Homo-oligomer: A and B are copies of this chain.
C-alpha cells in the first residue's frame, strides 16, 4: 500500500510503498482508509516537537485522524464486521488498566497512538488498530466526510464536555474560543450544542471569523492588538469564565491570560508556546490551567451522534494521499480553512 512516511525530523514526509498491515492479535482490526485528516500536530511532529515525548523510531507512517471501512478483524472481535464503515478513536487501549476502566482512554497505561507513537498511522491504504478503537458510522455517513472528527473533533468536544460538567457553561457565562480553524470551529458548535454560555471567538483573519460566526459564535473579535480591550468591554469588564485556547502559541497564551476572570479556567488544547504565570496570580485569582488531550471513546461516540443529527458539521478540503505535501503547504501558509483530508486512491 501507499503510505506517508516520515524519515527525518525537519524534512517533509514522502509517499511510498510499504507492506500492508496484518492481523496478529485476537482484538486487532484493520481499517481500509477512506479519509485521513491532516493536523497541525503533523507539522509539529515533522518539526521535531514530539521527538522526546513520543520517542518513535523513524521512519514511520503519519496520520492519527482516520476513518474508513473494516477490512479484517482478529479472532475475538465481535463489535464490528468486515465492511462496516467506522471512525477510529486515535488510541489503541488495553481496556484493563485503571484509566481504561474509568473511561480515560487517552491515559491507558499501555496505550498506543498510531501516527504519533507506538505504531504506524493512517495516512496510508490501511491502518491497523484495535476493537476498542472503532465506532460504526450511522447509515449514509461517508468516512471521508467525518475523518476529522477522530482527532480535531474529539479534541474540541473533550474540553467542552469537561467545562459543561463542571458547571462553567451556564446561561450568562462568557467563554472565549481562541482560534477558529479545524478544531475551534467544531469547538464552537459543541459549545452551542452542550452548553448555554455566550461564546466569543477570537481569530486573526476575517475568513476565520466568518467561519466562527457560521459555526455559532455569539460574538467575534479580531486578534489585532485591540482584542483584550474589546473582550473586556464585551464582558462588562470582568473577563471570561473560561478560555479554550486552540492556538496556545504566537502570543495567545499571554493575551488569553489577561481576559481570564477571577476563578476562571483556561483549557490548553493547542500548543507551541509556554505558560508563564506567577504563582501569586494563580492564588490571588484562584485560576486553573487545564491541559486537554484528545478525548474518550464515549465522547467520540457522542460527537458522531451530534454529527448524525446535523448539529456539528465539518468544513473540509480533500486531497489525494499523494498530494500530502500540497496539503501541508496549504496548512502551513494559512490557506486551509477547515480541515484537510487525504484520500487514498482505493477509497
Q: In the complex, are the beta carbons of A95 and B132 less than 8 A apart?
A: yes
A211 at interface, CB cutoff 8 A: no
**A87-125: which residues lie under 8 A (CB-CB) from chain B?**
94-96, 98-99, 101-107
* For the complex of A and B, 8 pairs with smallest distance between CB atoms: A282-B291, A26-B76, A271-B279, A286-B293, A271-B280, A248-B279, A171-B305, A172-B305
Contact partner, A132, options B96, B269, B274, Cβ 8 Å: B96
The CA of A329 and the CA of B227, in the complex, are separated in Å by 47
Chain B residues within 8 Å of A279, by CB: 245, 248-249, 253, 268, 270-275, 291
Q: Report how many residues on chain A are interfacial, defined by Cβ distance under 8 Å.
A: 77
The CA of A164 and the CA of B25, in the complex, are separated in Å by 40
The CA of A105 and the CA of B306, in the complex, are separated in Å by 25
Nearest B residue to A296 by beta-carbon distance? B101
Assess A102 versus B99: contact at CB under 8 Å? Given A171-B309, A193-B171, A306-B171. Answer: no
**A191-217: which residues lie under 8 A (CB-CB) from chain B?**
193-196
Q: In the complex, are the beta carbons of B293 and A283 less than 8 A apart?
A: yes
Q: Tell me the interface secondary structure of chain A in the complex.
A: mixed
Q: In the complex, are the beta carbons of A302 and B172 less than 8 A apart?
A: yes
Chain B nearest Cβ from A74, distance in angstroms:
8
Q: In the complex, are the beta carbons of B306 and A196 less than 8 A apart?
A: yes
Chain B residues within 8 Å of A272, by CB: 279-280
Chain B residues within 8 Å of A270, by CB: 279, 283
A255 at interface, CB cutoff 8 A: no
A301 at interface, CB cutoff 8 A: yes
Contact partner, A103, options B102, B291, B306, Cβ 8 Å: B102
**A220-245: which residues lie under 8 A (CB-CB) from chain B?**
245
Chain B residues within 8 Å of A262, by CB: 107
Chain B residues within 8 Å of A277, by CB: 274-275
